[in-house]
Structure 1
Amino acid sequence: MGKDSVQGESYENRADVPMEMLAEGNCSLILSDVRFRDAGIYESYLVVGQSRVKNQILIHSVRLAVVDHKHIQSVESGKDLILDLYTNQAKMLVFQQEGTPEWRVLWQRGQDSGGERWVEERGRKLVVREVVTSNSGTYRVVDEEGLTLSTVKVSVTGSVATTGSEVKEKQISLDSGKVDAPSLCLTVVLFLSSHALIHLP
């Protein structure tokens, strides 16, 4: 609406059509901090006609799919494992040791870890300090709804000896339906840390 714009409640501070692009005839929508609930169909319309009689002309339609990050990582025993959080949506890090069915909580946003300081949050990353062979397995970062934002399969190599007792972790059972990323029809793939540029000519 001229220089004014209105954003939907769940898109506040995340959706933008830059005026400098619009002045050149490009009405592409930039969607930041993409999340699973953003998946769906986006359509742009040109509104024409007088004040009382207006018509909407479809310009473009895009089906957006959102998927989680998947990585395989190898780290030497005794060194730190660094995991990207990608987004502020990250609420919890869970771990499944190789060969076991259980998932354990290693980190939760906003909760004090007490004396267990071997997992640290540093900006947009988590650091698992001085890993050992038993740290091999699958690491998942999930959001507040239990949906997987990233999955990293980690193998610990080398034979560096460790000292001291291993830190005991709180064990939880996770509903597999909530841990796995939703199955979406993939047309446009976006990573959660990226900006989505939906080109609407």
Structure 2
Amino acid sequence: MNRLLMNLLCFLMVSLVDSSSLSTRFLSITCTVGEQAVLPCSWTPRLRTPASRHIQWQTTVTVFEQWGARRWQAEEYGGRVEVPEEKLGSGDCSLVISDVQIKDTGRYESFMVVDGERAGKTRVFIQAVKLFVFDHKSHQARGPGGDLVLDLVTRHSVRVVFQGRNSSEWSELWMKGDNNSLRLEKDPLKEQLTLKSLQRSDEGTYKVLDEHGLAISTVQLAVQGESPDVRVHGEMENQVSGDAVRSSRSLLPLCFALITSFQIPRLF
């Protein structure tokens, strides 16, 4: 009987959890690193006009909090989050995250803090949003001697690693703060890195990483076509053969004239 009672209690608890999760409004937002993400939120369906507009957004920690002119945000978001004050009064409490990073992936919940019926403050749940952030992926093909421009995407890019086509190991290609070299150059204004004078050995996978070692972008490079030296050599050979043909053609009338000049006296 005790075991039956325990099983019944467990069933009721699971049912309550399932029903509460179904009643929770849940949204999913997907974006790539470096973009701006807007996590939707509207307090009007849940609240009458609050006396003070006090909004909180949190994950496992408090991400952002705003109460009138006072604002606070978690250090790891580094000035990248806000709830526009001009929209908050009309009910829009959406969280705007600029320059999103892979580490920003997670479940976000918003609350309005209001005066309770008794003394003190009460938090009213508004919205749950699941944010998914993915790295950039691309396949590129370049010819030997060409350039590969790697988009670093964001100021949080600190490292570029390379894996050759037939290799299983990763090697470090660039670190933030490195000086330019003959073949590798960081644009002074843009978040771009240029690898010059591509060779067959440059074919493979390039990854741009952030300070946590998370991928910001992944580029698969194929080096195709002939090298400039081979093309120049081929063009020179074609030019020489063409000159020889033209020379032989120009000699034919001269040879014909000489042969004819020897044969004309015999006719007399």
TM-score exceeds 0.5: yes
User: In the alignment, what sits opposite 1:199?
Assistant: none
Inter-partner Cα distance in structure 2 for 1:31 and 1:82: 27
Match of 1:74 in 2: 141
Who is 1:169 aligned against?
A: none
Residue identity (%):
39
Q: Which runs of 5+ in 2 are unaligned?
A: 1-66, 231-268
Task: Note the C-alpha offset of 1:142.
Answer: 1.2
In 1, the alpha carbon distance for the partners of 2:74 and 2:103 equals: 13
The CA deviation at 1:42 is 0.8
In structure 2, what is the equivalent of residue 175 of structure 1? Answer: none
Structural mapping, 1:20-169, within 5 Å:
20-50=86-116, 52-112=119-179, 116-122=181-187, 123-161=190-228
**More helix per residue:** 2
Distance between the aligned counterparts of 2:207 and 2:78, measured in 1? 27
Distance 1:78 1:9 in 2: 44
- Where does the alignment leave 5 or more consecutive residues of structure 1 unmatched? 164-201
Q: Give the paired residue count.
A: 161
Q: CA RMSD in A?
A: 1.9
Q: For residues 68 and 139 of structure 2, what CA distance do their matches in structure 1 show?
A: 48
Cross-structure match for 1:180:
none
TM-score by length of 1: 0.73
1:15 to 81, 90, 96: 81
Q: Are the structure 2 counterparts of residues 29 and 19 from structure 1 closer, same or farther at C-alpha, using a change threshold of 3 Å?
A: same
TM-fit CA distance, 1:162: 5.3
**What do the CA deviations read for 1:124-144 (whole angstroms, capped 9, x no partner)?**
111011212221110011122
Asked if 2 retains the 8 angstrom alpha-carbon contact of 1:78 and 1:162, the reply is: no
In structure 2, the CA distance between the partners of 1:162 and 1:131, relative to structure 1 (3 Å rule), is farther
Q: Which structure's CA Rg is the greater one?
A: 2
Distance 2:137 2:151 in 1: 11
C-alpha displacement at 1:16, in angstroms?
A: 0.7
Ranked by relative contact order (alpha carbons within 8 Å, sequence separation 6 or more), the top structure is 1
Calculate the TM-score normalised by the size of structure 2. 0.56
Counterpart of 2:100 in structure 1: which amino acid?
Answer: V
Q: Which whole-Å deviations, capped at 9, do the CAs of 1:141-198 have from their partners, x for residues lacking one?
A: 11222222111101112112359xxxxxxxxxxxxxxxxxxxxxxxxxxxxxxxxxxx
Structure 1 segments of 4 or more deviating over 4 A? none
1:182-197 → structure 2 map (5 Å cutoff) = none
